[in-house]
Amino acid sequence: AGGAGKTPGWLLGPQGEGPVMRMLGGLGANIRDGLRTLTGLALLTLPFTGLWLGAWWAGWENSFNKGYEQAVIGPAVWLGATIPAILILSHMPFALAHAARAGRLGAFAEWRVIRRMRAAAGWRAVWLALISVVLALPLLAAQALPVLIEEFMPGFAAMPAADQQAVGGLIALSTALYSFASLYTLRHMAARIAIRPQPANLWLSPLWLILSCIVWFGLVAQIVVAQFMNYDPLKWLNHPFYLLPWAG
């Protein structure tokens, strides 16, 4: 967000600017970059996550109304959305890194550049996908915890409402802190991988892409399992790692 070699901090702007820009320039730059990234994520992910939401709704309504002749529609729409989803997820870390470096919203659509970055990453793209899926497991547990809380805290349902809210607030805060720390780690990993030079063995790129897609399906599976455990329609659309962000 710095431009011209000047990198602002979390709050402070680059040195040499006026007092207002020095005090708040970093915050403004980070907000601007965050909004640009949010818009890019929405453009890339809402098409397939919206279809996921629609497929779930259609399947649930169809099952409730005993529309057996149309039972295939929900799963077919979900599968049709999942195929592009895992392809987009395999490119997403590199799209984010490229957009951050370019500082332009249009960089999210520069697929040739992003594809070359992913190809240059090689097996590291698969490793990044695996780490992302593993780090997402506690978020799956956090979504399922309200349903299973009596298993871990017997008598929770009989607790005073204020105590229940305190426990819920602690869970939300812990989830937010974990999401921030894990996302920060993944972004740094992706940035280091994305700047690697082009390797000589690009003929292996299709293999790494296939393996990456297989691993990324693990994140899709986690989202589905979490929805079965504790349904929230908005969580078809968002995830703190590579879909629209959320915390709590």
- At 3, is the pLDDT very low, low, confident or very high (cuts 50, 70, 90)? very low
The predicted pLDDT at position 222 comes to: 95
Query: Among 132, 144, 142, 96, which residue's Cα sits nearest to residue 219?
Result: 132
Q: Which two tokens stand for residue 217?
A: 């399906």
- Mean pLDDT along residues 192-210: 79
Query: Among 29, 37, 32, which residue's Cα sits nearest to residue 13?
Result: 29
Q: Which two tokens stand for residue 93?
A: 């870390």
Contacts of 92 (CB under 8 A, 6+ apart): 44, 242
Using one digit for the tens of pLDDT, what is the confidence trace for 112-135?
Answer: 999 889 988 989 999 999 999 999
- Mean pLDDT along residues 170-186: 92
Is 56 a residue whose pLDDT tops 80? yes
Its pTM stands at: 0.83
Q: Which two tokens stand for residue 215?
A: 């691993």
Q: Which two tokens stand for residue 232?
A: 């929230």
Query: Does 27 or 224 have the greater pLDDT score?
Result: 224
- Mean pLDDT along residues 176-191: 93
Taking the C-alpha atoms of 219, 239, 140 and 64 in order, what is their torsion angle to the nearest 10 degrees? -90
d(CA 123, CA 152): 39
The mean pLDDT value of the chain amounts to: 84
- Mean pLDDT along residues 83-87: 95
Using one digit for the tens of pLDDT, what is the confidence trace for 12-34?
Answer: 666 656 655 555 567 777 788 88
Query: Among 80, 77, 81, which residue's Cα sits nearest to residue 46?
Result: 81
CA separation (Å) from 229 to 137, 141, 159, 171?
14, 9, 23, 17
Q: Which of 12-26, 188-202, 227-241 has the highest mean pLDDT?
A: 227-241
